[in-house]
């Protein structure tokens, strides 16, 4: 009987392993869509809870939340793509005109000053046939690359539609049934109850800090950057906003690497051309970037992350870059989240294996531990 029971047990475990492997193979092509849907559900879960309190129906609240997500994502995306297309065309034509004219810095400067000599030398350099041919070939290569990517995107539209449908359904069912799925996962997970609760709580805090404290703040900085560039008359402000958003994610660098050179270039161009209006616009952009674009994160991040887990800047940096190279665009979020989960597990392991001697701790169940005497006090 024991042998028969053991055989049945191992057969069942082997069957689970085989079916799980086949299941992973089936869902693997949609893994990024599933992850994206889960992330959207996490982002909009507070709104879903607010709707649920008023509608008293999980299905209706999840459906309305999913529709709002579609509107919030699709409408701005269409508008941004339309504007980016126009700006890209203008940027390409304008750059090609400057290259062919031999004035890469379009500023007449005849004074015998260091700035004028530098501008004249730069323009002279781009009049050299070899440099001009290299610049033209580089522009053509960029145009060919962008054209190919756009063609591939158009061809892949049916596949993209399927991926978006998976994202939408994943978001809907994660909102609707997510809590039930977590409860079922807790029952089958081979972990102690307090470890499960601690992992969920700490990982939730770290995820909140990564998504809201880094990505949402970076989007806000990019939006303020776009507004500032538009107000001060800089062309292709949406492209610069996207670049600022990316640099805002990188610790110790930030958005200043975009707005500071832009304000400096505008101020110097106005000075050389004798246009006081451009000089003041450059000065205005400098103070706007210093006081608003680069400062807004210091205001909203403590409010968003307040009381939750802090994420080390190095973890964010490596997670963003490594995730981008490994998983593509979704890796910008997925990379830091995976490292955040690793951080959570290592902290739990460190706490369990190497407690601080003599330091009382309270675990997730509210039990007071006295590490010095190795006993637990219940209060």
Q: What is the three-class DSSP state of 361?
A: strand
Which of 40-44, 140-144, 248-252, 331-335 holds the top average pLDDT? 40-44
Q: Dihedral sign for Cα 325, 331, 333, 338, please.
A: negative
Q: Which residue has the higher pLDDT, 376 or 218?
A: 218
The pLDDT value given to residue 13: 80
Q: Is the pLDDT of residue 127 over 60?
A: yes
Q: Are 245 and 210 in contact (CB under 8 A)?
A: no
Among 221, 208, 185, residue whose Cα is nearest residue 300: 221
pLDDT digits (tens, 9 = 90+) for 162-217: 888 888 888 888 888 877 777 776 676 666 666 667 677 767 777 777 777 778 88
Q: Is the pLDDT of residue 233 over 50?
A: yes
CA distances from 170 to 48, 53, 284 (A): 14, 22, 45
**Cα–Cα dist 173/195, whole Å:** 26
Q: What is the mean pLDDT of residues 341-370?
A: 59
Please, is 25 exposed, middle or buried when counting C-beta atoms within 10 Å of its C-beta (0-12, 13-18, 19+)?
exposed
293 falls in which pLDDT band (50, 70, 90)? confident
Q: What is the mean pLDDT of residues 337-341?
A: 78
Q: What is the mean pLDDT of residues 299-318?
A: 70
Q: Which residue has the higher pLDDT, 214 or 106?
A: 214
367 falls in which pLDDT band (50, 70, 90)? very low
For residue 97, what are its two tokens? 């005109």
Q: Which residue has the higher pLDDT, 160 or 172?
A: 172
The pLDDT value given to residue 113: 64
The pLDDT value given to residue 311: 65
Q: What is the mean pLDDT of residues 275-294?
A: 87
The pLDDT value given to residue 105: 60
Q: Are 304 and 212 in contact (CB under 8 A)?
A: yes
The pLDDT value given to residue 366: 41
Give me the long-range contacts of 300-306 (CB less than 8 A, separation at least 24). 300/217, 300/220, 301/213, 301/217, 304/212, 304/213, 304/216, 304/217, 305/208, 305/209, 305/212, 305/213
Q: What is the mean pLDDT of the chain?
A: 76
What is the residue whose two structure tokens read 């008293």? 56
CA distances from 69 to 77, 78, 102, 171 (A): 12, 14, 48, 9
Vertex 254: Cα angle to 250 and 257 (nearest 5): 120
Q: Is beta strand 375-377 parallel, antiparallel or unpaired with respect to 368-370? A: antiparallel
Q: Is the pLDDT of residue 10 over 70?
A: yes
The pLDDT value given to residue 92: 72
The pLDDT value given to residue 2: 46
Q: What letter would DSSP give residue 128?
A: S
Q: Is the pLDDT of residue 328 over 70?
A: yes
4 falls in which pLDDT band (50, 70, 90)? low
The pLDDT value given to residue 359: 44
54 falls in which pLDDT band (50, 70, 90)? confident
**Cα–Cα dist 62/70, whole Å:** 12
Q: What is the mean pLDDT of residues 304-308?
A: 64
Q: Is the pLDDT of residue 374 over 50?
A: no
The pLDDT value given to residue 110: 59
Q: Is the pLDDT of residue 373 over 70?
A: no
106 falls in which pLDDT band (50, 70, 90)? low
Please, is 242 exposed, middle or buried when counting C-beta atoms within 10 Å of its C-beta (0-12, 13-18, 19+)?
middle
Among 265, 237, 223, residue whose Cα is nearest residue 91: 237
375 phi and psi angles, rounded to 5 deg: -125, 165
369 phi and psi angles, rounded to 5 deg: -105, 130
The pLDDT value given to residue 265: 82
The pLDDT value given to residue 368: 46
Q: Is the pLDDT of residue 143 over 80?
A: no
Q: What is the mean pLDDT of residues 84-100?
A: 71
What's the distance, CA 33 to chain centroid? 15
Q: Is the pLDDT of residue 304 over 60?
A: yes
């Amino acid at each position: 009987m024991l042998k028969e029971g053991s055989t049945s047990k191992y057969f069942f475990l082997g069957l689970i392993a085989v079916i799980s492997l086949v299941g992973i193979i089936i869902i693997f092509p949609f893994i990024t869509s599933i992850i994206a849907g889960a992330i959207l559900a996490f982002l909009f879960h507070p709104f879903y809870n607010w709707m649920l309190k008023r509608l008293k129906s999980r299905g209706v609240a999840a459906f309305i939340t999913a529709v709002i997500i579609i509107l919030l994502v699709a409408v701005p995306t269409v508008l941004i793509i339309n504007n980016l297309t126009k700006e890209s065309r203008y940027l390409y034509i304008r750059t090609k005109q400057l290259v062919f004219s031999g004035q890469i810095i379009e500023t007449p400067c005849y004074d015998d000053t260091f700035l004028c000599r530098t501008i004249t030398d730069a323009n002279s350099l781009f009049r050299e046939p070899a440099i001009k041919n290299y610049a033209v070939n580089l522009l053509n290569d960029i145009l060919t690359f962008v054209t190919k990517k756009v063609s591939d995107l158009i061809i892949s539209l049916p596949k993209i539609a399927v991926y978006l449908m998976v994202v939408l359904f994943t978001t809907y069912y994660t909102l609707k049934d997510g809590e039930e799925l977590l409860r079922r996962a807790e029952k089958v997970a081979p972990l102690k109850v307090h470890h499960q609760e601690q992992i969920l709580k700490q990982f939730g805090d770290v995820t909140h800090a990564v998504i809201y404290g880094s990505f949402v703040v970076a989007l806000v900085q990019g939006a303020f950057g776009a507004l500032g560039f538009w107000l001060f008359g800089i062309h292709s402000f949406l492209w610069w906003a996207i670049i600022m958003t990316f640099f805002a994610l990188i610790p110790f660098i930030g958005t200043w690497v975009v707005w500071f050179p832009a304000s400096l270039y505008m101020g110097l161009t106005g000075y050389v051309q004798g246009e006081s209006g451009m000089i003041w616009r450059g000065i205005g952009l400098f103070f706007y970037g210093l006081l608003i674009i680069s400062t807004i994160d210091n205001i909203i991040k403590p409010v968003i992350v307040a009381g939750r887990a802090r994420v080390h800047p190095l973890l964010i940096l490596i997670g963003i870059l490594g995730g981008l190279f490994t998983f593509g665009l979704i890796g910008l979020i997925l990379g830091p989240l995976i490292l955040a989960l690793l951080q959570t597990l290592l902290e739990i392991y460190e706490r369990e294996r190497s407690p601080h001697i003599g330091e009382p701790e309270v675990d997730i169940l509210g039990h007071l531990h006295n590490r010095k005497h190795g006993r637990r006090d219940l209060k």
